[in-house]
A and B are shown apart, each in its own frame.
Chain A
Amino acid sequence: MARMLRHMRPRPKDLFSERAKYERDARLEKRTDTLDTEDLILNMGPQHPSTHGVLRLKVKTDGEVVKEVIPYLGYLHRGIEKNCEQKEYLQFFPIVDRADYLSSMFNNMICTQAIENLMDVEVPDRAQWIRVAVMELNRIASHLLWFGTFLLDLGALTPFFYALRDREDLMDILELASGARLLYNYIRPGGVRSDVNPAFIKKSHEFVKKFPGYIDEYEELVTGNAIFVERVTGVGVISKERAVARALSGPMLRGSGVNWDLRKNEPYGAYPKFKFDVAVEDGCDVMARYKVRMMEMRQSTRIIKQALDGLPEGEYTAKVPAILKPKAGVTYARIESPRGELGAYLVSDGTKKPVRFHLRAPSFVNLAAIDEMGRGHMIADLVAILGSVDIVLGDVDR
């Protein structure tokens, strides 16, 4: 028995060592600087139960409170920019589609915008209006998926299914327009790839009629829920100055009180002809961004209704050559995607392949602020904050 417990008996060298004496003195004086505290390093590994994609967050916590968040990216890096340098301009589109795969119309649009900035082409009105309509439909689809997954992260199981039900309707509508449910390859330089058919218009009208009622339902179930409000107010705060300094864009910036929407401030396409409001909230926290996105869904519905009602007759595309050769030059095109400012920096030398194509990804730049937003909160809040940034890993990693 003594032999078994031998390892538990303190040895003389342990009791009378310098370290032991030091610790005894410290205990007597009730000092706490001798306590060995370690930061817990928690790895929110590349695979999440929540569906953000492959993102690794190394979180240093002091018990429950987060002290530092270090994201590790690159799990979904596919070399889109390098790939595009080897390809002709029209061959870009299927690749860049897959950058921000939830808002593929916007990826199409940014390539188109960059190329059209360097080309002399007059896009017909009908094509511009169709572009606006499908982009706003895609914006609603993207925000719906954000809504579902954000609430799933917070523990509410049901809104996810409701959001997906509506998204199914939207994907059917966009399939009628472009032929694909998720990765459209529809908006081309010069116009769109094919004209819209009456079924698309009819289904879109039906959708626009019933969707505001659904948003009301979601707001009632979620925004009014005391548990939800407790979880998201005061969490993930980033002030206006820091938001501008970090070059956040989209709902992140508008949720911090900056009235900046590229559709209004640097308009492109047919947007100047539409009446809509920009959702701006002063809360600077997750709740403000949530409200901004819900209001954006409503405004998008408004835009779609105007687009469908006033769709002009005409050609759906201008005549562009099969092999595009934009003029030599440099351009930085930018549009407002659901995640923020999606930009394309294109350098062309007049040949059929670009010299440099860079995609300025909104999720990449927005994600950089997560360290700032997450410090001082608890781990459960970090999940909510990550949900409110609305990242798509395809966009972050390209």
Chain B
Amino acid sequence: MSEIISKRLSEGFGGEYEYDPAKGLLKIGAGRVGALAKLLRSDPALSFDYLRNLTAQDFPDGVFTVVYNFYSFATGLNLMVHALVPASMQLESVTPVWPSADWQEREVYDMFGIVFTGHPDLRRILMDEDCNFFPLRKSFKLDLVHGMKDMKRAEDDKKNPKKAGAAKESDG
């Protein structure tokens, strides 16, 4: 099964890619999402018409990847695609090809800040509209949400100044 994918990829896909048939995982570089989408959707041997899952992940070294999971009802093939997001944090949207990407890309934008060009209505979906941070990034630490940890400490200090003094020394 995976030979079909390798064959079609080597024939139809122009950019550089890395396909691991054992894991069913395809890694492509930045900026080639549109071409890959066209190939996967319209190629009769592949015809991936079911986009099951669209999410993103964030590595501690600041590299973002968008993850796609495809299935084809016609051929029964499964494929997972990792698309590297360039430093500009912009990626081509696959919503025109697979409409199910609509909300899932909005969620990725909301959580990671990756902008999908060509998306019909890219705005935040789960967080507030006027939220100014992207929660799922590794750089966003949970303790500093609205400075709550500091706020609580400041309140406790006001109540118990003596304890605060001792605590401050022991905390460091």
Contacts and interface: CB of A to CB of B under 8 A. Distances in A.
Direct contact of A and B (CB under 8 A): yes
Contacts of A347: 57
Interface in A247-273: 247-249, 258, 260
Nearest to A241: B49
Contacts of B136: 81-82
A343 B52 contact: yes
Given A74-B126, A86-B142, A247-B51, A365 B57 contact: no
Given A79-B135, A365-B104, A368-B100, A330 B55 contact: no
Nearest to B73: A244
Contact of B52 (A86, A334, A397, A398): A334
Interface string A315-358: 00000000000000110101000000101010100000001101
A175 B51 CA distance: 37
Chain A interface mostly: mixed
A73 interface: yes
A338 to B, nearest CB: 18
B33 to A, nearest CB: 17
Contacts of A356: 57-58
A74 B127 contact: yes
A397 B102 CA distance: 16
Nearest to A343: B53
Contacts of B107: 364
A249 to B, nearest CB: 8
A21 interface: no
Interface residues of B, number: 31
Nearest to B121: A70
B98 interface: yes
Contacts of A258: 73
B120 to A, nearest CB: 11
Given A258-B73, A343-B53, A364 B98 contact: no
Interface string A184-217: 0000000000000000000000000000000000
B23 interface: yes
Contact of A73 (B49, B57, B125): B125
B67 interface: yes
Contacts of B69: 332, 343, 345
A360 B125 contact: no
A245 interface: yes
B126 A345 contact: no
Contacts of B126: 73-74, 77, 397-398
The 7 closest A-B pairs by CB, nearest first: A247-B100, A74-B126, A356-B57, A358-B55, A368-B103, A77-B126, A360-B53
Given A82-B135, A245-B49, A260-B73, 7 more contacts: A74-B124, A244-B49, A247-B100, A330-B25, A332-B52, A332-B69, A343-B69
23 contacts: A74-B124, A74-B126, A79-B135, A81-B111, A82-B135, A244-B73, A245-B99, A247-B50, A330-B23, A330-B25, A332-B52, A334-B52, A343-B52, A343-B53, A343-B69, A356-B57, A358-B57, A360-B52, A364-B103, A364-B104, A364-B107, A367-B103, A368-B100
Interface of B: 23, 25, 49-53, 55, 57-59, 67, 69, 73, 80, 98-100, 102-104, 107, 111, 124-128, 135-136, 142
